[in-house]
Amino acid sequence: MLNQCLLKDKKVSCVKMIFEMDKNDALQKIKEDMEADKDLPLVSKPEDVIPGDGNPEAEIVFIGEAGGYHESIQRKPFVGQAGKLLNKLLELINIKREDVYITNMVKTRPPENRDPLPEELLAFGKYLDREIDIIQPKVIVTLGRFSMGKFFPFDFISMAHGKAREVKWKDRWITIVCMYHPAAALRNGEIMRREREDFLKLPEILTKLREKEKTKSDIMKNEVSQMKLL
Ligand code: URA
């Protein structure tokens, strides 16, 4: 019996490893495709691309706006002042940065950190969609109005922030939580208070989603064993 279990566990972790490798490869391919895409606005050389970063198995994906100066140097999202705040907010809820995936609507730095233009959001959108398809997160946290606009184009952040809402994404449902951009929280004490409050809701949102998934899989297992009896 023990041998059987060990063998089964080995098999499961082997399958998991192959799956994770595929996800890593698929994310690497997105980076390479963006670097080679001659139609991408604001990208004149491959090093201009700031790819998403983090755990391909993440349950939570954070989507910001676009890279800034520090992001463009390190080629990593959220490594400047806003990124330091994001790290602190993650610490507040005992989530490690290595366990989440962080990306931007526009995966490069707009000149003088100006707002992204609609055509830039559109051009990078297909790469963001591929990231979501690969990672299949339980929760997407949008940071700021541009990433909120991807899912709720008519919402106002002051009304929408902190609410968990399910959105149909291709053939599945994803929970979207809109939050203020950390840079806005750095500029305004009231927004900082709301941002902390919204982050503190995340663990419970995740727990509920995990429970829901477990119930679903238990029901399925039960149905399969009932069918076997027939
Ligand atoms: N702001 C963003 O929206 N993204 C970053 O990567 C950094 C700052």
Ligand 1 atom at minimal distance to the Cα of residue 71: 6
Its pTM stands at 0.90
Residue carrying structure tokens 């968990």: 164
Domain count, the chain: 1
On whether the CB atoms of residues 138 and 216 are closer than 8 A, the answer is no
**Could you tell me the CA-to-CA distances from 47 to 36, 82, 115, 143, 208 in Å, in that order?**
11, 22, 21, 24, 40
State in Å: Cα 104 to ligand 1 middle: 7
pLDDT value at 210 more than 60: yes
CATH number at residue 77: 3.40.470.10
Write down the pLDDT at residue 1.
39
Q: Is the pLDDT of residue 16 over 90?
A: no
Q: Is the pLDDT of residue 3 over 50?
A: no
For position 229, what pLDDT does the model report? 79
pLDDT attached to residue 5 = 41
CA of 150 to the centre of ligand 1 (A): 16
Q: Residue 4 — very low, low, confident or very high, per pLDDT cuts 50/70/90?
A: very low
Contacts 24+ apart (CB under 8 A), 213-222: 213/138
The tens digit of pLDDT for each residue in 91-145 reads 999 999 999 999 999 999 999 999 999 999 999 999 999 999 999 999 999 999 9
Q: Please answer whether residues 136 and 57 qualify as being in contact, where contact means their C-beta atoms are separated by less than 8 angstroms.
A: no
pLDDT, average across residues 19-40: 93
Cα(71) to centroid(ligand 1), Å: 7
Q: Supply angle C-alpha 217, 221, 224, rounded to 5.
A: 140
pLDDT in the model for residue 230: 74
Which domain, by its residues, includes 115? 2-229
User: Ligand 1: distance of its center to the CA of 205 in Å?
Assistant: 24
Ligand 1 binding site (Cβ under 6 Å of any ligand atom): 64-68, 71, 77-78, 80, 82-83, 104, 183
